[in-house]
C-alpha cells in the first residue's frame, strides 16, 4: 500500500483558529488515524486578516516595527514585513487599523480611519521598496481609504477649506487636494488583495455590507454611504475615475476604491496572488489528496474565496479535494461539487455558535482522523 501524500491548505476559521493552527489540527487528526500518510501543511490566506502574516512567514521575511495611529488616532506599535531582498513590503491593514485594535464598545466607523495603515505605507516607502502588497481584511474602518491617502499627503476639504478627517463628515467634501501626495506612492507597484467583489455604494456596498460588522447602526450606514457617494462624486470630477463602479471597490470599507482611484493600485484576487506568491503549484504537484476549509463553505466560496482557489488548482492536477467547514449548505450548489469531492461539516451534532467556535480545533482533529481511517479502509 503506497503512502498517501496529503496537502493540508485551510484558510483561517474566522473568530476561532488562524490558518496555521487549523492546518496543524487537521495534520494531527491524520497522524492519529490508521492511514499511512505524510502531511504537508500549507496554510492559506485570500486577503483576509492574517494573509500578510502568512506571506511574510512563508518567505522568511523581516518584520519592521512602526509607531502609528490606531483607528482613533491613539499611538500603537504595528509592523509590516519586507521580503524579496527588501524590495517588497507586505502590509496587513489589520495591524494598524484592525478590529482587534478596538474594544467592542468603542467601535464607531463614523470616526474610525485608516490613517495608521497609511503611516505604515509611508514607512515602507522610506525603506526604499518598489512593490507594496496590502492585505486588507479585518479592518475597523469605512473611510474609502481616505485615512491612508491623508497619511500620504492628500487633503479632503469642505467648502470653507477646512480638512475633513472623519467619515461621518464626508458629505461635506467639496474639494480633494492631491498637490501634497507623496510621489513615491505613484511610482511604487501597489497590489491590494481582495476576497470580496462588492462595489463601493448601495445595498451591496461597503457601508451596507461591512459597516454593521464594524459597529455601524442602520442610521450610521446611511451616513457612511452618503459620505462615500460624495467622495466618489468629487473624486470623479478630479480623476475621471468612477470609484463607485470599481469591482472589489467596496472591500475593507472602500479602501480598494480609494487606492485604485488615487494611487493606481491594482485590485487583485487575493487567493490567486497568495498561491502564486507562495509557490502553491509546486506543493500541489507533489500531493495525492488536498484538504482545505474555512468557517463556512457555500456558493459564495466560488467567488474567489481561499478554499475555491485551492480546489481549482487541485482539480487542474486531477486531485481529489475535501473541504472542511463549520457550516456547509444542506443542498450543495452544483458548482461546489465540481471542485470538492466531499464537503464535511466538522461539528459533532447540533450546537450553539459560541460552543462550535470554541471546539473548532478538536472538531478538526476528530474529522481529519475519521477521514484518515475511512481512506485507510478503502485503500
**pTM of the predicted protein model:** 0.89
Q: Are residues 187 and 90 in the same domain?
A: yes
Which residue range(s) make up the domain with 16?
4-44+280-378
- For 87-96, the pLDDT digits (tens) are 999 999 999 9
Residues 6 or more apart from 85 whose CB is under 8 A from it?
none
Which has more pLDDT, 356 or 359?
359
Q: Residue 197's pLDDT is what?
A: 81
Q: What is the mean pLDDT of the chain?
A: 93
User: Which of 224, 249, 271 is the last residue before a domain boundary?
Assistant: 271
Q: Are residues 243 and 94 in the same domain?
A: yes
The cell numbers describing 331, all together, are 443542498
Overall average pLDDT of the 1-29 stretch? 93
Asked whether residue 303 carries a pLDDT value surpassing 90, the answer given is no
Overall average pLDDT of the 207-229 stretch? 96
Overall average pLDDT of the 3-30 stretch? 94
Q: Is 251 helix (H, G, I), strand (E, B) or coil?
A: helix
Q: Are residues 40 and 68 in the same domain?
A: no
Q: Are residues 259 and 355 in the same domain?
A: no
Q: Are residues 372 and 259 in the same domain?
A: no
Per-position b or e across 287-314, b if 16+ CB within 10 A of its CB: bebbbbbbbbbeeebbebbbbbbbbbbb
Q: Are residues 186 and 251 in the same domain?
A: yes
How many domains in the chain?
A: 2
d(CA 357, CA 259): 35
Residues 6 or more apart from 327 whose CB is under 8 A from it?
295, 296, 297, 298, 345
Asked whether residue 234 carries a pLDDT value surpassing 90, the answer given is yes
d(CA 265, CA 121): 13
Residues 6 or more apart from 358 whose CB is under 8 A from it?
16
Amino acid at each position: 500500500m503506497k503512502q498517501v501524500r496529503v496537502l493540508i491548505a485551510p484558510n483561517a476559521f474566522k473568530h476561532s483558529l488562524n490558518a496555521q493552527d487549523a492546518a496543524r489540527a487537521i495534520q494531527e487528526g491524520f497522524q492519529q488515524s490508521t492511514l499511512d500518510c505524510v502531511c504537508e501543511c500549507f496554510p492559506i490566506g485570500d486577503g483576509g486578516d492574517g494573509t500578510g502574516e502568512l506571506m511574510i512567514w512563508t518567505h522568511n521575511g523581516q518584520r519592521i516595527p512602526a509607531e502609528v495611529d490606531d483607528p482613533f488616532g491613539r499611538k500603537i506599535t504595528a509592523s509590516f514585513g519586507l521580503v524579496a531582498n527588501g524590495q517588497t513590503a507586505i502590509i496587513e491593514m489589520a495591524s494598524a487599523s484592525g478590529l482587534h485594535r478596538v474594544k467592542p464598545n468603542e467601535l464607531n466607523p463614523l470616526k474610525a480611519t485608516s490613517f495608521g495603515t497609511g503611516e505604515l505605507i509611508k514607512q515602507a516607502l522610506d525603506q526604499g521598496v518598489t512593490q507594496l502588497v496590502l492585505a486588507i481584511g479585518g479592518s475597523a474602518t469605512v473611510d474609502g481609504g481616505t485615512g491612508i491617502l491623508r497619511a500620504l499627503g492628500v487633503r479632503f476639504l469642505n467648502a470653507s477649506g477646512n480638512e475633513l478627517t472623519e467619515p461621518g463628515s464626508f458629505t461635506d467634501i467639496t474639494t480633494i487636494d492631491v498637490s501634497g501626495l507623496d510621489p513615491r506612492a505613484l511610482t511604487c507597484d501597489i497590489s491590494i488583495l481582495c476576497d470580496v467583489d462588492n462595489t463601493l455604494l448601495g445595498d451591496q456596498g461597503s457601508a451596507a455590507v461591512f459597516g454593521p460588522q464594524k459597529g455601524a447602526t442602520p442610521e450610521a450606514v446611511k451616513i457612511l454611504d452618503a459620505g462615500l457617494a460624495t467622495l466618489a462624486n468629487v473624486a470623479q470630477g478630479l480623476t475621471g475615475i468612477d470609484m463607485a463602479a470599481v469591482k472589489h471597490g467596496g472591500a475593507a470599507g472602500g479602501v480598494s476604491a480609494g487606492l485604485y482611484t488615487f494611487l493606481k493600485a491594482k485590485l487583485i484576487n487575493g487567493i490567486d496572488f497568495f498561491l502564486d506568491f507562495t509557490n502553491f503549484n509546486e506543493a500541489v504537484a507533489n500531493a495525492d489528496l488536498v484538504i482545505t476549509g474555512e468557517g463556512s463553505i457555500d456558493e459564495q466560496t466560488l467567488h474567489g474565496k481561499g478554499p475555491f482557489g485551492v480546489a481549482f488548482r487541485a482539480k487542474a492536477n486531477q486531485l481529489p479535494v475535501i473541504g472542511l467547514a463549520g457550516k456547509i449548505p444542506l443542498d450543495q450548489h452544483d458548482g461546489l461539487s465540481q471542485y470538492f469531492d466531499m464537503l464535511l461539516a466538522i461539528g459533532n451534532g447540533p450546537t450553539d455558535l459560541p460552543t462550535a467556535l470554541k471546539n473548532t480545533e478538536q472538531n478538526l482533529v476528530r474529522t481529519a482522523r475519521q477521514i484518515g481511517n475511512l481512506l485507510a479502509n478503502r485503500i
